[in-house]
Chain A
Amino acid sequence: MSEHRSDLEQRVTALLEAHDPATTGRAAFLRARWDAGLAWVHFPVGLGGLGLPRDLQAYVDDLLAAAGAPDNAPERNGIGLGMAAPTILAHGTPEQHERFLRPLWLGEEIWCQLFSEPGAGSDLAAVATRAVPDEATGEWVVNGQKVWTSSAHLADFAILVARTDPDVPKHGGLSYFLLGMREPGVEVRPLRQLTGEAEFNEVFLTDVRVPGDQLLGSVGEGWRIANTTLNSERVSIGGQAVPREAGMVGKVAETWRTHPGRRTHGTHQRLLDLWVQAEAARITGSRVRQQLAVGAPGPEGSATKLVFARLAQQLSALEVELLGEDGLRYDDWALTRPDKVDFTGRDAGYRYLRAKGNSIEGGTSEILRNIIAERVLGLPGEPRVDKDVAWKDLPR
């Protein structure tokens, strides 16, 4: 590991010498960083990486941040970086790698995820959006409706799961596409959340044409590929060691320290209990990272999202109570369309409401429990009534 580090340090130094962040434009610096293989070091050479262990990225990021170099604003393209990129890398053709990965990393093209539909959320394999081949042009013609699509209003491309064969059982009839969000027939409407803002959207797809070379993998392989995406989503764990009291627990602790008059014995006990749990989650996260670094991901990883969601909800709920009548004031109900997700930004009331999404987005806590119980603990699967039935014959 340490020889990788000294090699990376040299590469970073060379990059900084050739492109002084103080005098180099942001875009030019990011392009040079990509070319140096320092974009995501675990990607292959030529695709922004060096084929090194994934956790070394944090080391590179730290070095560059310390030198005042610009980053690629990862918070603005979470789905692109966390989900689309690993899926395209794993299942894409060399041409697709060439076409999509670089602009994605540079933040020139923002991505969203067109999975969920009004009739298919947890049961993702039930999607009804159709993709039909047009023999004459080699294109696909897509029709359907997607929902709860984060960042669709900003996105240039989408990862899309659509039905290409309704005559086989549901998992077998899906295909995976890379769809241009600026194409004719794509309509994005803001969908207001309980926080007041519209972070996600409804997306209506009407005769949208997707070029044949934007099918990812083969026809009918959509379910398997979608699982790559979902696994990336669930294990996408930050590279850095997290400081004590980072995130939601820090917010509550700060409120506690600055509002001595609001303290009660009951809230004190709850706060200390949650502080311990947050510290336990932080320590578990660092062990998961250490395991990843030596290439042996431990099973704990699959439970981190479950734990994180519950903690965020309990901590933010406590904070609203602590604030008393101040907790009743909400900062702003305006319908805004934010360009990034900020779980800990804004006021306590917002944090409380936004945290409710943590146990729904990216797979509900109930679905995660099923996955842990079945795939990790080896308990029997749920009874399946839809297994051998063609999708078109399923009750809807």
Chain B
Amino acid sequence: MTADTLPPAPDLDLLATDVETDLRRSVRAVLAKTCPTEALTALADGTDEVSAAAWSALAGDLGLAALLVPEEHGGAGAGPREAAVVAEECGRACAPVPFLTSAVLATDLLGALGATEALGRRAEGGTAALVVPAATRSAQGWSRGAAVSATGGRLVGDVRGVVGLPADLLLVPVAGPDGPALHLVEAGAEGVTLTAVTSLDATRPLTDVHLDVPLDGAGSPLATGEKVTAALDHALATAAGLLAAEQAGLAAWCLEQTVAHLSERRQFGRVVGGFQALKHRLADLYAEVGQASAVAAHAAAALAEGTDVPVSVAVAQAFCSEVAVHAAEEAVQLHGGLGMTWESPVHLRLKRAKADHVLLGSPDAHRDALATLVGLPGPEAG
């Protein structure tokens, strides 16, 4: 590839609309009420009084489970730009809700494959999860490690580290005899074993899935062949692009909290935030956070327009993942001993940021993808 064949950058609208600003306001208000820090920290102790309440407020009161469900199936018929606003707020609040995994990832996949009945149930608040390892970046990446097969009349396999469970419905990609297929399995069906594992990020549960389900029980696949691969790729790209918004929101929160803390905290007879070594680190972080927000907005706009999606998403993931982790790590360090405590809200963001770093493809995986997309091949290409 030469610079002439480089995918040209579209000129996308990166400013928030009034609708988006209103949506942000209501989501932020709901999450401020439903996701208090103590409840979020208690998740790691096995006490969950927060997930259901937070999701019911988002899905029920605000109708966000159905945000991306088309209107004809009972949804709001909104697009990736609105979803990015919600994801960003979920990142700020570290909300333990299946918005990204169910309302975005699973819903996009069901929509692409025309599963009208299943979509209708999403619109009513039902949750769904894609049964692939958390770090899956693309359909190709999934099929390489495909662990579930449909042989001998049964759907059998183990998938480690799935995010988005518990959920009502499992979306199971299967390496069938005739290529890829996607099966829908009720989470409560016989032969489904879900084992919750302890997650680095307690606000995003991690589950090992064991399936040994009779195929008649799992029905015929929703779709087979290339269609599945394409739909999976689209859904994973959509989720990855909106994950960037979550990361941008998380990073912005970390910067704001850290600036606020350092504006109060006094040592050596001065406000600590007046020390230049810290001011300069925060100024650099400020530059990064501003860029992360723009880059995430760009990915959402690209998804909404259906243009430049692969490059925009890879850039957004590669960039925002790193910024979120950097912001969270700086927040812990600059909060001093307080940052190291269980009570402080800061560590929740660190765990979420580091988990997000791995989710849906590491920055390295996305940079690898870019190497091909923008014609910058590695040394092995000669």
| Chain A interfacial positions (CB closer than 8 Å to B) | 241, 243-245, 250, 253-254, 256-257, 260, 263-265, 268-269, 271-273, 275-277, 279-284, 286-287, 290-291, 294, 298-300, 303, 306-307, 366, 368-370, 372-374, 376-383
| Complexed CA–CA distance, A306 and B281 (Å) | 13
Given the known inter-chain contacts A260-B382, A290-B14, please indicate yes or no for A244 contacting B8, CB distance below 8 A.
yes
Establish whether residues A370 and B279, one from each chain, have CB atoms under 8 Å apart when the complex forms.
yes
| Complexed CA–CA distance, A383 and B7 (Å) | 50
Given the known inter-chain contacts A265-B378, A268-B379, A370-B276, please indicate yes or no for A379 contacting B282, CB distance below 8 A.
yes
Residues of B within 8 A of A380 (CB): 263, 270-271, 273-274
Establish whether residues B276 and A272, one from each chain, have CB atoms under 8 Å apart when the complex forms.
no
Which 4 A-B pairs give the minimum distances between C-beta atoms?
Answer: A380-B274, A373-B279, A303-B287, A300-B290
| Interface residue? B47 (CB, 8 A) | no
Establish whether residues A373 and B283, one from each chain, have CB atoms under 8 Å apart when the complex forms.
yes
Given contacts A260-B381, A286-B294, A290-B13, 8 further A-B contacts (CB under 8 A): A268-B378, A272-B318, A272-B368, A284-B290, A300-B287, A300-B290, A378-B259, A379-B282
Residues of B within 8 A of A368 (CB): 283
Cβ-closest chain B residue relative to A263: B379
Establish whether residues B273 and A307, one from each chain, have CB atoms under 8 Å apart when the complex forms.
no
Min CB distance A87 to B, Å, is: 26
List CB contacts (< 8 Å) of B359-382 with chain A: 364, 367-368, 370-371, 374-379, 381-382
Residues of B within 8 A of A276 (CB): 315, 318-319, 367, 370
Contact of A272 among B286, B293, B376 (CB under 8 A): B376
| Interface residue? B298 (CB, 8 A) | yes
Contact of A245 among B6, B278, B378 (CB under 8 A): B6
Cβ-closest chain A residue relative to B320: A280
| Complexed CA–CA distance, A122 and B291 (Å) | 27
Residues of B within 8 A of A300 (CB): 287, 290-291, 293-294
| Interface residue? B284 (CB, 8 A) | yes
Min CB distance B289 to A, Å, is: 9
Min CB distance A277 to B, Å, is: 7
Cβ-closest chain B residue relative to A267: B379
Establish whether residues A265 and B262, one from each chain, have CB atoms under 8 Å apart when the complex forms.
no
| Complexed CA–CA distance, A272 and B377 (Å) | 10
Establish whether residues A376 and B286, one from each chain, have CB atoms under 8 Å apart when the complex forms.
yes
Establish whether residues B283 and A369, one from each chain, have CB atoms under 8 Å apart when the complex forms.
yes
| Complexed CA–CA distance, A257 and B370 (Å) | 14
Establish whether residues A287 and B283, one from each chain, have CB atoms under 8 Å apart when the complex forms.
no
| Interface residue? B297 (CB, 8 A) | yes
Min CB distance B252 to A, Å, is: 11
Q: Would you mind naming 17 contact pairs between A and B with Cβ atoms under 8 Å apart?
A: A241-B9, A244-B7, A250-B3, A256-B376, A257-B3, A257-B375, A269-B367, A275-B374, A276-B318, A279-B315, A300-B294, A370-B283, A373-B279, A377-B279, A377-B283, A380-B270, A380-B271
| Complexed CA–CA distance, A287 and B292 (Å) | 12
Residues of A within 8 A of B25 (CB): none
Min CB distance B85 to A, Å, is: 15
0/1 per residue, B125-141, Cβ < 8 Å to A? 00000000000000000
| Complexed CA–CA distance, A276 and B292 (Å) | 11
| Interface residue? B19 (CB, 8 A) | no
Cβ-closest chain A residue relative to B258: A377
| Interface residue? B45 (CB, 8 A) | no
| Complexed CA–CA distance, A324 and B284 (Å) | 32
| Complexed CA–CA distance, A254 and B4 (Å) | 11
Contact of A253 among B9, B318, B376, B378 (CB under 8 A): B376
Min CB distance B303 to A, Å, is: 14
Cβ-closest chain B residue relative to A298: B290
| Complexed CA–CA distance, A129 and B3 (Å) | 50
Residues of A within 8 A of B259 (CB): 377-379
Cβ-closest chain B residue relative to A301: B290
Establish whether residues B283 and A372, one from each chain, have CB atoms under 8 Å apart when the complex forms.
yes
Min CB distance A6 to B, Å, is: 19
0/1 per residue, B1-32, Cβ < 8 Å to A? 11100111101111100000000000000000
Establish whether residues A280 and B315, one from each chain, have CB atoms under 8 Å apart when the complex forms.
yes
Residues of A within 8 A of B287 (CB): 300, 303, 306-307, 372
Residues of B within 8 A of A268 (CB): 371, 376, 378-379
| Interface residue? B295 (CB, 8 A) | yes
Contact of A373 among B9, B280, B376 (CB under 8 A): B280
Residues of A within 8 A of B8 (CB): 243-244
Contact of B280 among A307, A369, A381 (CB under 8 A): A369
Establish whether residues A257 and B379, one from each chain, have CB atoms under 8 Å apart when the complex forms.
no
Establish whether residues A263 and B378, one from each chain, have CB atoms under 8 Å apart when the complex forms.
yes
Residues of A within 8 A of B292 (CB): 280
List CB contacts (< 8 Å) of B332-377 with chain A: 364, 367-368, 370-371, 374-377
Min CB distance B372 to A, Å, is: 11
| Complexed CA–CA distance, A220 and B274 (Å) | 30
Establish whether residues B9 and A243, one from each chain, have CB atoms under 8 Å apart when the complex forms.
yes
Residues of A within 8 A of B294 (CB): 280, 283-284, 286-287, 300
Establish whether residues B14 and A286, one from each chain, have CB atoms under 8 Å apart when the complex forms.
yes
Establish whether residues B378 and A307, one from each chain, have CB atoms under 8 Å apart when the complex forms.
no
List CB contacts (< 8 Å) of B104-126 with chain A: none
| Complexed CA–CA distance, A184 and B370 (Å) | 59
Establish whether residues B271 and A284, one from each chain, have CB atoms under 8 Å apart when the complex forms.
no
| Complexed CA–CA distance, A256 and B377 (Å) | 9
Contact of A283 among B15, B284, B298, B375 (CB under 8 A): B298
Residue among A256, A276, A290, A381 with max Cβ neighbours from chain B (10 Å) = A276
Establish whether residues B367 and A291, one from each chain, have CB atoms under 8 Å apart when the complex forms.
no
Residues of A within 8 A of B278 (CB): 379
Min CB distance A318 to B, Å, is: 12
Establish whether residues A265 and B379, one from each chain, have CB atoms under 8 Å apart when the complex forms.
yes
Min CB distance B7 to A, Å, is: 7
